[in-house]
Amino acid sequence: MEEVKAIPSSTKLKEDKLELLKSSTADPLFNSPILQDLWWTIWGKPNNFKLQEIYILRAGQLAAWLPLYIDAFKIKKVVNIRRLQFVGTNYQNIVTPRVEYIDIVAGKGSNAEKAEAVSELNNVEWDDFIVRDTYVDGVLSSLLIKEALRRKWLVRTIHEDVAYSIDCTGSAKNYFASRGKNTRLKIFNRRTLLATIGTVEIKNYFPDKIDVFFDIMERFHKLRWGDVFSTNSLLFHKSLIHELAERGATINLSALMVNNVCESVVYDIQYFNKVYNIQSAYNESFHKKISLGSLHLGYSIENAFDNTSVSNYDFLAGGGKNTYYKKSLATTEVRLHSLQIVRSLKLKLMYLVKGYADRIARLLK
């Protein structure tokens, strides 16, 4: 077994990480050093987080890594906490774009290296460790729970969710035919009605009209949800799509035009063989019989089926405002959870006392 040591940040390290990611089963977008480095520049450094990455080397080559950092703060201004987290995520203290499918990056079949990386957690000083949106049935969850039992760390599940996607290896025709009547109407059949209203076009606003695209998305998003992207979130997304495009990703800032007016937007990233549906927004008052958001997604889904390099169209986790539309569109579901692993004795006692108090409160109801 070789020595485990930190490698200083460098251009070569980033390239080594990207090369390792290609041979890994980890999600290539959300575990990418491209995304992680951007996140660190925008949120990590300004908040004085302490980078605490774990690297496993084999014959001098990067074999596995855990991109971690320490967020030091106080609970209720009294209890000092050193919280270990994955770069790209933060729990409770700051709000950043959601990053899913968190995993260890290692080559396929490199379970020994993954286990070694997890065991190295014991050599880092931390009080609790938050792992957000990782696979319930994944290797990372299994290794963390096994290590926690061995070290007598407390494991708490703090959130559960489901990510939805479409297997695009078949035909778009068969996919649309397999959907329920109401779903098929919304995502496909309403094209006929839309065509009677005027000229319909779909344009990609990348790379020439990026600012216009996000301005339109913000306007629609504010009307539907009442909020907008933060300045930092906009900077993150605009920087991310440029850097990913330079690495071979296909960016689709899709604008659905009706009579030369943009009425709906869909933000998709194709990276490796997957299309990630990052965000969408549309004019809700366009037509009472047409859900432009659903119809626009239908076009995007069809494009994914028609692209032979795409095997999956991923809606990610989370639901819609009024309906859980992703479930009706998806052919595949993946369970995710967020874990809190507690090592500090003081924190363990706090959570155990809270757990007992909550049980008593429920019994007394």
Distances (CA, A) of 310 to 61, 80, 163, 189, 273: 31, 47, 18, 24, 5
Domain spanning 11-163+335-364: CATH 1.10.1220: no
Name the strand (E) or helix (H) holding 197.
helix 191-197
pLDDT for the residue numbered 105: 96
In 10 A of CB 323, how many CB atoms?
Answer: 12
Output the CA torsion 70→71→77→81 (10° steps). Answer: -30
Domains in the chain: boundaries: 11-163+335-364, 170-310
Strand partners, 342: 128, 154
With a cut of 70, list the residues of the chain below it in pLDDT.
Answer: 1-10, 320-323, 356, 365
pLDDT for the residue numbered 223: 86
Contact 214, 254 (CB under 8 A): no
Distances (CA, A) of 84 to 66, 272, 288, 303, 350: 11, 29, 48, 40, 18
- For 157, how many CA atoms within 13 A lie in the half-sphere containing its CB? 11
pLDDT for the residue numbered 350: 86
Question: Fold match between 11-163+335-364 and 170-310?
Answer: yes
In 3-state terms, what secondary structure has residue 111?
Answer: helix
pLDDT for the residue numbered 344: 95
Q: Please name the fold of domain 170-310.
A: Aminopeptidase (3.40.630)
| Entry pTM | 0.93
Between CA 236 and CA 242, with CA 239 as vertex, the angle to 5 degrees is 145
CA distance 365 to 359: 10
**What sign has the CA pseudo-torsion 289, 292, 293, 295?**
positive
Contact 84, 68 (CB under 8 A): yes
CA distance 86 to 278: 20
